[in-house]
Amino acid sequence: MTDLNIVVPRYYEHKTEMDFYKKQCDAENAEIKQAMKEMDIKDFEVNGIVAKYVIQNKESMNEEKLLSVLKDAGYTDLIKTKEYVDMDELESALYHSEIDTDTIIEMDKCREVKEVVQLRISKKKEKKNEGK
């Protein structure tokens, strides 16, 4: 069986150290990219370590413009209607008692509950002596 008296403090120390190094790496990553951009270089090597500056283009469609182009060109058969529940309107209708009880009971059957287990560990804050 795991001894939590040992594992919890060890985990806290490792997690704290990892978070520190993650921040360091993120800052250094940004610094290296900025320097390579300013120097207009794509590769840099020092002591057998290679840094590569790679630019990738990721494409996506502006759906609003695409819909307009297809509608204007008469390709409406390519356009589908996407139904969704407007949760703000639903909340308002429930708040103002605009939905009958039978429907509310049926709606409750739509509720899904997932159990999420989280581990949060932090160092206990020491209390300062007050009034002394």
Would 30 be classed as within a structural domain? yes
Would 124 be classed as within a structural domain? no
Domain count within the chain: 1
pLDDT digits (tens, 9 = 90+) for 61-114: 999 999 999 999 999 999 999 889 999 999 999 999 999 999 999 999 999 999
pLDDT digits (tens, 9 = 90+) for 26-41: 999 999 999 999 999 9
Would 75 be classed as within a structural domain? yes
Would 11 be classed as within a structural domain? yes
Would 58 be classed as within a structural domain? yes
Would 42 be classed as within a structural domain? yes
pLDDT score for 40: 95
pLDDT score for 127: 76
Would 103 be classed as within a structural domain? no
pLDDT score for 64: 92
The residue segments making up the domain with residue 64 are 4-79
Question: What is the reported pTM?
Answer: 0.57
Residue 7 C-beta-side C-alpha neighbours within 13 Å: 5
Distances in Å between the Cα of 45 and the Cα atoms of 26, 29, 41, 55 are: 20, 15, 11, 18
Would 104 be classed as within a structural domain? no
